[in-house]
Structure 1
Amino acid sequence: MTSKNCFMYLIVTILIISVLSACGNSNEGQSTSTSAPSPSAQSESADTASNDDGYRLLTDALGNEVKVPNHPQRIIASFLEDPLTALGMKPVAQWGYKGAPQHYLQDKLGDVPVLNVDGGLKSEETLSYNPDLIIFLSPSYLRNGDYEQFAKIAPTFVLSDNDSDWRGNLQKLGALLGKEDAANQALADYDKKLSDAKKQLGGTLTDKTAILLQGGDEKGYNLFGPGFFGGAMLYDAFGFKAPSLINGSYETYSLETLPQLKDVDYIFVLSGEGRAKPPENNPLWQELPAVKSGHVFAVDSGHWFNANPIANGLVIDDIVRYIHE
């Protein structure tokens, strides 16, 4: 080999070594940026927080770092069964009060065992179902010190710090479970259903007043205000007027205030097992124009005393069924 050829060979060798070295440095930088996600990684960065062990490291509403399984199979999400069902998923056990689950979901969850959550979800019963993920809607669903007990059973994630934001919580749940598209679709379906219902009712709702009433004892009753479960559907979603008597989200009123409901066009009364009836035998009730005109409707407390995609859809069905021109 001539000296000229030797010189050229040396240059080519140096160039190859330089290229390989640059590639190695580039790969090393990428590995560093993705293998150590921020401890506060939220669901929107879930993909970058994934690892080879089948879980994502996410931070919940209490600030806990939780190893959330990428594909949980045995979920317990007490009182989140509605949004969970809307995402096309089933829990391994479902919420129940005195042995009774949420009846309006039983066409989907009829074969799912019922938890005893009287006084709150219990760690011992939860353990018996061998969950791989436990979800609480908010800190208010946890008693003091309970989190650590559940975290010893399975990864435990507190979803939100806002119980009433059902839309945002559905999206958070979708992100947590890798069901973002299903959450967006459920919201789109709900929005269309509400829009179609309001178009169908047309001018029926114009300047109409409605209330959602819960029967009480012989002395009083409760009314739902704007932003509170079925009250949110009446006033915020459909645009019914609230009577001037309503002064809060969920307040108790004496029977002597019944005459102040004389301008109410429609009265929806919570019904269901264990629910008190309205004051039907009270003369003040019997004199109300809505009562005289037959505009009092018994509605299932299971979905009216709720705020989730399936429950709200059933409320829409009820309003369309009962309200006519």
Structure 2
Amino acid sequence: MQRRTKTTVAGTLILSMALLTSACSSAATTGSNTNESSSTPAATQTETASERTLKDSMGHEVKIPANPQRIIASYLEDPLVALGVTPAAQWSIKGGSVQDYLQDKLANVPTISSDLPFEAVASFTPDLLLMDSAEMVEGDKYNQYSAIAPTYVVGNAENNDWREELKTVGEVLNKSTEADKVLSDYDAKVADAKTQIQQKVGTKSAAAIWISGKSVFVVNPKLSSGDVMYNDLGFTVPDVVTQASEGKTANWSSLALESLSTLDADYLFVIIQDGAKPDDGISSSVWNSIPAVKAGHAYTLSMKSSWLYTGAVANSMIIDDILKNVVSQ
């Protein structure tokens, strides 16, 4: 339903990496001009037959090039890839870590730091900047970015609805038809997956935890992979997950180790660094007391997978992982 908090996630990923080491697209666009509407983005004026002026989520009137070729859209790579667009540079954090699950499409795309340093942005000579949230252009940043290239702020919240985000990016890039098709295909995949799960195991509970060293995090039921499991596929939310996420706005919340033994989930999806084992940082007695572990329904997934992210591409991959482990076994 909502997107993952960018600064929270980036910071958590950096912390995760620190804990683990010392202790978490540009195809040519086509289509007709967008007509004025009451929704965002709103076309306020047609400058020429090819250039449009759109109002972004912060009220800026932005002149959108007819056919942008060098787009930088940090942390919006999922919707870009879903729409068949390759950016000029891709989001990265400390150490050059990128969104690994997108690398089949972005392997040759250079990286840019997630905080988008002005000189680095300018070095890519972009013709359009898409900013994920108002947080990214706070203070005087918007003016400085817009001096480099037309700058459109897609969302104004910390966690934007990934569906609305995709539709907005599609409209800005004149790819609304493609965005609608992506959403339609995703909804069809969800419906089919939900039917398969119901036919195979009925209504069951599930949880996703992220283990980083001796720290454990549990996914928010309304965000990231939690949204896919509970809202899309209909798994029941365990009480421990609800309690740990209550009042929280981040995608992942810290979970006390002692709570693991009471994590009453029929299925458990464990996101962990490649080569690590869950009981490297968790005592075997606690780990083996988890109902899903005792039943043989705990599945390990790489931190390089899409489970820490959200979007049409990420969520589709999460569904594939769930079907592989729950239905196909």
TM score, norm. by length of structure 2? 0.79
Residue 160 of structure 1 deviates from its aligned partner by: 1.4
Q: Deviations over 1:101-126 (max 9, x none)?
A: 21211111222111122xx1111101
Q: Residue 189 of structure 1 corresponds to which residue in structure 2?
A: 185
In 1, distance between residues paired with 2:51 and 2:294?
60
Q: Residue 292 of structure 2 corresponds to which residue in structure 1?
A: 290
Q: Is the contact made by 2:274 and 2:302 (CA closer than 8 Å) also made in structure 1?
A: no
In 2, distance between residues paired with 1:60 and 1:178?
15
Say which SS state the counterpart of residue 195 (structure 2) adopts.
helix
Q: Does 1:270 align with 2:266?
A: no
Residue 53 of structure 1 deviates from its aligned partner by: 7.5
- Relative distance call for 1:124 and 1:274 in structure 2 (3 A) is farther
Which sections of structure 2, spanning at least 5 residues, go unmatched? 1-34
Tell me which of 194, 202, 205 is aligned to 1:209: 205
List aligned pairs for 1:204-283, cutoff 5 A: 204-218=200-214, 220-246=215-241, 247=243, 248=245, 250-261=252-263, 263-272=264-273, 277=278, 279-283=281-285
Tell me which of 90, 95, 100 is aligned to 1:94: 90
Q: Residue 20 of structure 2 corresponds to which residue in structure 1?
A: none
Aligned-residue Cα RMSD (Å) equals 2.5
Q: Does 1:114 align with 2:111?
A: yes
Say which SS state the counterpart of residue 207 (structure 1) adopts.
coil
List aligned pairs for 1:138-217, cutoff 5 A: 138-162=133-157, 163-217=159-213
What letter is aligned with 1:321? K
List aligned pairs for 1:52-91, cutoff 5 A: 52=48, 54-91=50-87
Higher helix share: 1
In 2, distance between residues paired with 1:189 and 1:103?
23
What letter is aligned with 1:237? D
Q: Deviations over 1:227-246 (max 9, x none)?
A: 11011111111111111112
Residue 181 of structure 1 deviates from its aligned partner by: 0.5
Q: Residue 325 of structure 2 corresponds to which residue in structure 1?
A: 322
Q: Is the contact made by 1:266 and 1:290 (CA closer than 8 Å) also made in structure 2?
A: yes
What letter is aligned with 2:133? S
In 2, distance between residues paired with 1:146 and 1:277?
42
Q: Is the contact made by 2:41 and 2:55 (CA closer than 8 Å) also made in structure 1?
A: no
Q: Which moves more between the two structures, 59-68 or 168-177?
A: 59-68
In 1, distance between residues paired with 2:238 and 2:137?
36
Say which SS state the counterpart of residue 91 (structure 2) adopts.
coil
Say which SS state the counterpart of residue 211 (structure 1) adopts.
strand
Higher RCO (CA 8 Å, separation ≥ 6 residues): 2
- Relative distance call for 1:45 and 1:280 in structure 2 (3 A) is closer
Q: Is the contact made by 1:41 and 1:58 (CA closer than 8 Å) also made in structure 2?
A: no
In 2, distance between residues paired with 1:87 and 1:50?
24
Say which SS state the counterpart of residue 267 (structure 1) adopts.
strand
Q: Is the contact made by 2:162 and 2:310 (CA closer than 8 Å) also made in structure 1?
A: yes
Q: Residue 313 of structure 1 corresponds to which residue in structure 2?
A: 316
Q: Is the contact made by 1:43 and 1:176 (CA closer than 8 Å) also made in structure 2?
A: no
- Relative distance call for 1:44 and 1:216 in structure 2 (3 A) is closer
The structure with the largest alpha-carbon Rg is 1
What letter is aligned with 1:102? Q
- Relative distance call for 1:255 and 1:280 in structure 2 (3 A) is closer
In 1, distance between residues paired with 2:275 and 2:69?
34
- Relative distance call for 1:215 and 1:231 in structure 2 (3 A) is same
Q: Residue 27 of structure 2 corresponds to which residue in structure 1?
A: none
TM score, norm. by length of structure 1? 0.80
Residue 44 of structure 1 deviates from its aligned partner by: 6.4
Q: Residue 15 of structure 1 corresponds to which residue in structure 2?
A: none
Say which SS state the counterpart of residue 127 (structure 1) adopts.
helix
Residue 308 of structure 1 deviates from its aligned partner by: 0.5
